[in-house]
Amino acid sequence: MLAVQVLINALVLGCLYACIAIGFSLVWGVLNVINLIHGSFIVLGAYLAWGAYNGLGLSPWYSLLIAAPAFFLFGYVLQRVLLNRVITAPVLVTLTLTFGLDLILNNAMIYYFKADYRKLILNPPTGSISIFDVVVPIDRLIATGAALLLTFLLYLLLRRSRVGRAIVAVRLDRDAAVLMGVDVKSIYAVAFGLGAALAGCAGVLMALIFPISPLTSSAYLGKAFVVCVLGGLGSVSGALAGGLLLALVEGIGSIYLGPAHAVTLSFVLLIVFLIVRPQGLLGRKGFE
């Protein structure tokens, strides 16, 4: 029965990990920018849900509807105003810029919210489902469903819409996309906006499950990085596969080695993949 509980926990947590990583993977795969501000976007989304619920009485599900357009607009403007100026520079330049932006946003959150941990507690509580000895909290199930829905919506956008096909074209061959009349600068801004929107929505979902603090941004960024490497850059299905694999390894590792070694185990897995299969489970060679 313990194995079933571990498997279910991994499925639930893996879908949330995929939601954390998918925006990071999209920006990295399309813009070739390692967006170090991604973790702070997630924490800011969690604070949005916490503040809307405790201050205005808004359900976290309504917060998703606020977070998606607000973070998209923020990311779009950020890319247009700042990142676009250095987008063709070496990776180290964009890395430094996003690191600086992350410091500014993270320190602003510490100044405003302090470093204390807070928790969004729903009233009345949602309870849990218990089948034999297997217990699954309902709020985690709902958050998992929302994470899968967001992942599916991004998949549909990339596959079925004109702007989505343009994003894929720029990711595959920027020069060919330019020759076909694609406005690459606009596509970059849309892709970065989508990455920010997904990070903000992931933060709303995380607020339902985990405590909130600006200090957790680096942990979320680390998860996103590992999932991207495991699944493959710019791949929606790869992010989902990478998230599930990471959650499963962490779950099994927690049982046999203890929860304190779960993070270490995830980074050992990262190193193994970088050596054996740098393009990830579902990525393509050339995008690693």
Confidence tier at 234 by pLDDT (50, 70, 90): low
Highest mean pLDDT of the ranges 9-18, 54-63, 120-129, 263-272: 54-63
Q: Which residue has the higher pLDDT, 123 or 224?
A: 224
Is the model's pLDDT at 162 over the cut of 60?
A: yes
Q: What is the pLDDT of residue 135?
A: 80
Confidence tier at 283 by pLDDT (50, 70, 90): low
Q: What is the pLDDT of residue 11?
A: 82
pLDDT mean over 235-247: 84
Q: What is the SS3 assignment for the chain? A: CHHHHHHHHHHHHHHHHHHHHHHHHHHHHHHCCCCCCHHHHHHHHHHHHHHHHHHHCCCHHHHHHHHHHHHHHHHHHHHHHCHHHCCCCCHHHHHHHHHHHHHHHHHHHHHHHCCCCECCCCCCCCCEEEECCEEEEHHHHHHHHHHHHHHHHHHHHHHHCHHHHHHHHHHHCHHHHHHCCCCHHHHHHHHHHHHHHHHHHHHHHHHCCCCECHHHHHHHHHHHHHHHHHHCCCCHHHHHHHHHHHHHHHHHHHHHHCHHHHHHHHHHHHHHHHHHCCCCCCCCCCCC
Is the model's pLDDT at 68 over the cut of 80?
A: yes
Lowest-confidence region among 37-46, 67-76, 87-96, 262-271: 262-271
Query: Is the model's pTM score more than 0.85?
Result: yes
Is the model's pLDDT at 2 over the cut of 50?
A: yes
pLDDT mean over 257-283: 80
Q: Which residue has the higher pLDDT, 81 or 134?
A: 81
Per-chain mean pLDDT for the chain = 87
